[in-house]
Amino acid sequence: MASRIESLCIEKGLKMTGQRRIIASTISEAEDHPDVEEIYKRAAKNDANISIATVYRTVRMLEEAGIIEKHDFGDGKARYEESSEEHHDHLINIKNGQIIEFHNDEIERLQEEVAKKLGYKLIGHRLELYAVPLKE
Amino acid sequence: MASRIESLCIEKGLKMTGQRRIIASTISEAEDHPDVEEIYKRAAKNDANISIATVYRTVRMLEEAGIIEKHDFGDGKARYEESSEEHHDHLINIKNGQIIEFHNDEIERLQEEVAKKLGYKLIGHRLELYAVPLKE
DNA sequence: TTAGCTGCAAACCCTTTGCTGCGTA
DNA sequence: TACGCAGCAAAGGGTTTGCAGCTAA
């Protein structure tokens, strides 16, 4: 059966090539937030012929389609994850780079409120918490 | 009298060169969040001999000294502003790129709380609101 | 005097793109 | 078949760096 990503490609009249299938499922299976280099390495395990240019083109396409999300955690390279139903923000453990997802309705609400008070309509936001473990 | 930045350079045993003085006061006088190219252009009005490499080296030095703050609003280039007493976050008007500073104690408190609940001690954060004007 | 700084240009890193041949629909 | 796509390598944008001469302390 066609995966979620395949259905979306068909819907948009895009060709479902082997490379796209592999790159898409690589991101889908990732439980972390891999950068392009990492996606490329993982995808290459399934098809050594994929080029990094194709990975760049594919993640851009998937991002524009809203299928995956792009993040920038300040290390100069883009990281990706599959879009989820529930919006979430990220806490980055600065000791080891581990990323924890969280969601807080109250913060979300306050953001809308802040924007409104300043005379703006909130379209999006970026919230990252940089932290260290309380104890080892 | 020596400016705040000059005092800090002396304190750290750094040389206070003409270029550093100019770059520092350029950032100090800025009321926006200029990128390196922009700082370079403004500084060049006072001394046409400054090179962009020196601007890069100086902003890095000032940032490491905690004198200025580096931001990345997602357009691929670093932006700088003088560190202020009061911490603040940024709302970016995505219609025109204008940046508005704001501060919200409640959001700050909730961030600490979120981190603590996840077993972390909050060290820093990044919060940006992307928004459009409510009406023109 | 001398350690540290500057300017220049080359190098770097991540990302995008032009071109040509290939594969999906 | 035909148009979109892939691979390759070159180019692009922001940033860093090696080197040789210069300058603040």
CA at B51, C1' at D25: how many angstroms apart?
A: 23
- In order, the DSSP letters of B47-66 are -TT--HHHHHHHHHHHHHTT
For the stretch B48-105, pLDDT in tens is 789 999 999 999 999 988 899 999 998 899 999 999 989 999 999 998 889 999 999 9
Q: Is the CB of A46 under 7 A from strand D?
A: no
For the stretch B113-125, pLDDT in tens is 999 999 999 999 9
**Which residues in chain A are closer than 8 Å to B96, comparing Cβ atoms?**
none
Percentage helix, strand, coil for chain B under 3-state DSSP, each rounded to 5? 40, 25, 35
Q: Does B121 touch chain A (CB under 8 A)?
A: yes
- Binned at pLDDT 50, 70 and 90, residue B2 comes out as low
Model pLDDT, residue B136? 62
Q: Does B110 touch chain A (CB under 8 A)?
A: yes
For the domain with range B89-131, which CATH number is right: 3.40.50.300, 1.20.1260.10, 3.40.190.10, 3.30.1490.190?
3.30.1490.190
Give the residue, A25 or B12, on which the prediction is more confident. Answer: A25
Contact A120 B72 (CB under 8 A): no
What are the structural domain ranges in chain B?
4-82, 89-131
CATH annotation of A4-82:
1.10.10.10
Model pLDDT, residue A136? 63
Model pLDDT, residue B112? 97
Please state the rounded mean pLDDT for residues B28-50. Answer: 93
For the stretch A10-54, pLDDT in tens is 877 889 999 999 999 999 999 999 999 999 999 999 887 899 999
For the stretch A99-136, pLDDT in tens is 999 999 999 999 999 999 999 999 999 999 999 999 76
CA at A55, C1' at C22: how many angstroms apart?
A: 18
**Which residue is closest, via its CA, to the C1' of D22?**
B17
| pLDDT tops 70 at residue A2 | no
Residue A127 is which amino acid?
L
First and final C-alpha spacing in chain B:
45
Please state the rounded mean pLDDT for residues B4-25. Answer: 86
Q: Does A118 touch chain B (CB under 8 A)?
A: yes
∠ CA B32-B34-B39, nearest 5°, is 125
Model pLDDT, residue B92? 95
CA at B52, C1' at D18: how many angstroms apart?
A: 16
pTM: 0.89
Please state the rounded mean pLDDT for residues B18-33. Answer: 94
